[in-house]
Each structure stands twice: as structure tokens, then as C-alpha cells.
Amino acid sequence: MATGTDQVVGLGLVAVSLVIFTYYTAWVILLPFIDSQHVIHKYFLPRAYAVAIPLAAGLLLLLFVGVFITYVMLKNQKVTKKAQ
């Protein structure tokens, strides 16, 4: 069973994810239909970042996964050499 701290951290992560999803959805889907002179545009980055930020985040995720897999494979290879 999860402790109270785990539940609070989980709720915080869900809340942050919901805010990011809502912001990104409004930025990508709703903002193009609003006049470019409207005040709301000052709260959002330029539209080019709507592609660049998720692309960079995806590449970083793939990099970290690749590094982790490489680390685990090299560590397991050293353990098997010691056992023999």
C-alpha cells in the first residue's frame, strides 16, 4: 500500500501533467483560431517551439533509455565474467 507521501507525490505529478497537457493543447489546437493581436498570445511561446520542445524531450528520453540499457548490459557482462 502506498504511503501518504507517495500519494501526495503522485497527485502532484498528475496535477503537473494535467497543467502541461492543458497548456500544450490550448497552445497547439486553440491558439491558431484566435486573432494574432489578442492579448492571450503573450502567454504562449512562438508556434515553432510547439514542435521543437516535444522533439527535444523525446530525443532526451531516448538518450537516457539508451544510456540506461547500455549501463545495465555492461554491468551484467562484468558480473558474469567475475562468476566464471
Give residue-wise pLDDT tens across range 35-78. 989 999 999 999 899 999 999 999 999 999 999 999 999 998 87
Contact status, residue 56 vs residue 79, Cβ threshold 8 Å: no
Domain ranges of the chain: 1-37, 44-83
pLDDT band at 1 (very low <50, low <70, confident <90, very high): confident
Contact 66, 53 (CB under 8 A): no
- Supply 40's cell numbers: 492571450
Predicted TM-score of the model (pTM): 0.70
Quote the pLDDT of residue 83. 66
Q: What's the rounded Cα separation, in Å, for the pair 69 and 80?
A: 17
